[in-house]
Amino acid sequence: MMAEKQLLLDVKDLKVHFSIASKSAWPWSKPANLKAVDGVNIQLYEGETLGVVGESGCGKSTFARAIIGLVESTDGEVVWLGQDLTKMQEVQRRETRKEIQMIFQDPLASLNPRMTVGDIIAEPLKTFYPKLSKEEVKSRVKEMMAKVGLLPNVINRYPHEFSGGQCQRIGIARALILRPKMIICDEPVSALDVSIQAQVVNLLKELQKELGLSLVFIAHDLSVVKHISDRVLVMYLGNAVELGESEPLFADPKHPYTRALMSAVPIPDPKLERNKHIEMLEGDLPSPISPPSGCVFRTRCPQANEECAKTKPQMKGDAIHAVSCLQVDI
């Protein structure tokens, strides 16, 4: 099915490393190298949703921001419709920003408190299409407000007058006003109440179907990811450990880390929830400044052996289901 669709995004061996100043008293001490993202590969097709999951500090948001260019990549390629964004001049990259937009985690903090709803949503239009008349801009803004479930009579109100869910709808309208091909959703529902989360996720699905959008959806809540995603990428300490179509990955997770994440997802049936087995991870998340040698997950993995400390695993499998683990056959 994916082979018939257009390949929009092809991320190849993307790395984002940060130089951290040493805390040593000696001025000649070398800065530490923090590996926030360390060689991740993904592909995203037209109309597809890729879910990205992993615990806090695994590099999900940094990975997303490196794709869109908010964080500078250290190495690798971000190929958008055949062109490498990392090698583009600023003028060229600016043009691609019309096609790639982002929805942020904190709905209120991502909106300018001094601007009205109408001005916030219209800002991208004024930036990229300065020749549009005021009437055209206002018409497009009202049309997009209707699509995301906002009444036109709130166009002159300010963000502080809205709830978290309404503010996120404003953020979605702002991201969609340029009619992009892809939207990166950086934990767009984590700051919202559960009932509002469902409304926002369903809204995104409806808009995706109507406008033919592709989504990169980052979240902690695996239930939400399962509901919205066609494929899922599991990240741990800046590395991709499992990647595959949503259904087979959730039905039969291969990597020990993925299995631990899946086992923590609540089951609606109280009897099944009481009797289910939860795979607990031992130890703390290692520092990305000094990650373990070989497999980065080996310090918390129940299956780790000496080989895991020496060899860094590579993705094996196919487009339906792939895993990065020396101890798993697929």
The residue ranges of every structural domain in the chain are 2-23+32-99+180-323
- Residue 141 vs residues 136, 170, 179, 188, 309: alpha-carbon distances, Å: 9, 10, 12, 21, 55
Which residues are CB-neighbours of 230 under 8 A, at least 6 positions away? 48, 49, 50, 245, 246
Residue 115 · residue 160 · CB < 8 Å: no
Mean of pLDDT values over 186-197? 86
Residues 6 or more apart whose Cβ sits within 8 Å of residue 249:
231, 232, 234, 242, 258, 321
Residue 284 has a pLDDT of: 81
pLDDT band of residue 270 (cuts 50, 70, 90) is confident
Backbone CA torsion sign across 317, 323, 324, 327: negative
Indicate the pLDDT class of residue 106, thresholds 50, 70 and 90.
confident
Give pLDDT, residue 3. Answer: 53
Strand residues in the chain grouped as ranges (E): 7-20, 32-45, 49-53, 75-80, 83-84, 100-103, 182-186, 214-218, 231-236, 239-245, 316-317, 321-323
Asked if 103 and 185 touch (Cβ cutoff 8 Å), the reply is: yes
What is the distance, to the nearest Å, from the Cα of residue 175 to the centroid of all Cα atoms in its chain?
Answer: 15
Q: How confident is the model at residue 136 (pLDDT cuts 50, 70, 90)?
A: very high
The angle subtended at Cα 282 by Cα 291 and Cα 273, nearest 5°, is: 130
Residue identified by tokens 């993925």 is 258
- What is the rounded CA–CA span in Å between residue 240 and residue 11? 12
Q: What is the pLDDT of residues 56-103, one digit of tens each?
A: 889 999 999 999 999 999 999 999 999 999 988 888 888 888 999 999
Class of domain 2-23+32-99+180-323: alpha beta
**Which of 23-27, 29-33, 43-47 holds the top average pLDDT?**
43-47
| Confidence band for 328, pLDDT divided at 50, 70 and 90 | confident
Looking at every residue in the chain, the average pLDDT score rounds to: 90
Does residue 327 carry a pLDDT above 60? yes
The CA angle 89-61-126, to the nearest 5 degrees, is: 50
- Give the residue, 120 or 107, on which the prediction is more confident: 120
Q: What integer pLDDT is reported at residue 268 of this predicted model?
A: 73
| Three-state DSSP class for residue 103 | strand
Collapse the DSSP code of 62 into the 3-class scheme (helix H, G, I; strand E, B; otherwise coil) and give the result. Answer: helix
Q: What is the mean pLDDT of residues 121-134?
A: 94
What's at 33, amino acid-wise? N
β-strand partners of 32: 20
Residue 158: the pLDDT is 95
Residue 267, pLDDT > 80, answer no
Mean per-residue pLDDT, 275-279: 74
Which of 134-138, 232-236, 284-288 has the lowest average pLDDT?
Answer: 284-288
The Cα 326–Cα 42 span in angstroms is 20
Bridge partners of 49, per DSSP, are 215
3-state secondary structure of 15: strand
